[in-house]
């Protein structure tokens, strides 16, 4: 896939030459699009590393867990941490093209999400966390490679947007009901399974957009989209494994 030839017969950028086309109807410069894609995945990698560091601190430093679990202030702060990334998304979208403000806001957003990941992990065994990480990595890599392969063959996954959005609304409503009417482990497994399927679909859809639709100025928003897909997939798988443990 990475070594196909482009319009002018040159080799892929990975081999020091000209990049191949990413999809059959491509009219833009392959070199620019490949450079854009590498930039997105570089930002995404830094986000995931930062998330892993923050989550590890939350899990290993026990006073943090005790504070969030046993004190009223901790409960209030946890609610604030849930709302904080949503609030940051607004200025992040508005200033997504303004450097370095976009990177600063992205860092705040990532740290906020990282706490949301770390706190559930703090009440989960290390074995379950490791299994969820391995499953998430396997799914993300597999779906990413598949999407690049399918797009090169002419497939367009834009049709998934209305279906994924509708499914996401159902998932949010299901989660809201769960808060007030818990239905036990089977319900948690169903919720986690639905979430895993939906966000797997979003990984394909957003990767398709990364290849074909995002403009070069949308690197922050493209990274945020894929980051949220991966984090939500991880949390969904973690929910399933916790329910079956």
* pLDDT tens for each residue of 223-240: 999 999 999 999 999 999
* pLDDT tens for each residue of 155-207: 889 999 999 999 999 988 888 887 777 767 788 888 889 999 999 999 999 99
Report how far Cα 239 is from the mean position of its chain's Cα atoms.
Answer: 16
In angstroms, the CA 106 to CA 224 distance is 8
In angstroms, the CA 185 to CA 145 distance is 33
In angstroms, the CA 18 to CA 7 distance is 9
Quick one: pLDDT at residue 7? 37
* pLDDT tens for each residue of 42-56: 999 999 999 999 999
Q: What ranges do the domains of the chain cover?
A: 29-244
């Amino acid at each position: 896939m990475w070594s196909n030839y482009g319009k002018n017969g040159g080799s892929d950028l990975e081999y020091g030459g000209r990049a191949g086309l990413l999809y059959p109807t491509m009219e833009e410069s392959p070199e620019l699009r490949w450079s854009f894609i590498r930039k997105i995945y570089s930002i995404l990698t830094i986000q995931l590393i930062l998330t892993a560091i923050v989550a590890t601190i939350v899990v290993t430093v026990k006073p943090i867990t005790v504070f969030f679990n046993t004190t009223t202030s901790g409960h209030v702060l946890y609610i604030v941490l849930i709302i904080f990334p949503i609030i940051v998304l607004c200025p992040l979208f508005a200033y997504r093209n303004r450097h370095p403000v976009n990177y600063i806001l992205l860092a705040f957003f990532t740290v906020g999400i990282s706490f949301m990941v770390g706190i559930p992990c703090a009440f989960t065994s290390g074995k379950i966390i490791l299994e969820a990480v391995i499953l998430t990595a396997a799914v993300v890599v597999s779906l990413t490679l598949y999407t690049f392969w399918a797009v090169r063959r002419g497939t367009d996954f834009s049709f998934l947007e209305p279906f994924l959005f509708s499914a996401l609304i159902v998932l949010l409503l299901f989660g809201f009901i769960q808060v007030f009417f818990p239905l036990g482990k089977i319900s948690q497994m169903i919720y986690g399974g639905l979430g895993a399927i939906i966000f797997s679909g979003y990984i394909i859809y957003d990767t398709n957009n990364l290849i074909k639709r995002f403009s070069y100025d949308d690197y922050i928003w493209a990274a945020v989209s894929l980051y949220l897909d991966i984090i939500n997939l991880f949390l969904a798988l973690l929910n399933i494994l916790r329910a079956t443990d």
